[in-house]
Amino acid sequence: MELAAHRSYTELDYRINFWRTKSGLEVDFVLGNGQIAVEVKGSSTVHPRDLKPMKAFVESYKPQKAIVVCNEELARNHEGIHILPYRQFLEDLWNGMIIH
pLDDT for 49: 94
- Once rounded to an integer, what is the mean pLDDT over residues 66-95? 97
Domain locations in the chain as residue ranges: 2-94
Residues 60, 53: Cα–Cα separation, whole Å = 11
- The DSSP annotation for 40-79 comes to E--SSS--GGGGHHHHHHHHHH--SEEEEEES-SS-EEET
- Report the pLDDT value the prediction gives residue 100, as an integer from 0 to 100: 87
pLDDT digits (tens, 9 = 90+) for 11-67: 999 999 999 999 999 999 999 999 999 999 999 999 999 999 999 999 999 999 999
DSSP run (H or E) holding 5: helix 2-10
Who contacts 91 (Cβ-Cβ below 8 Å, separation ≥6)? none
**With a threshold of 0.85, does the pTM exceed it?**
yes
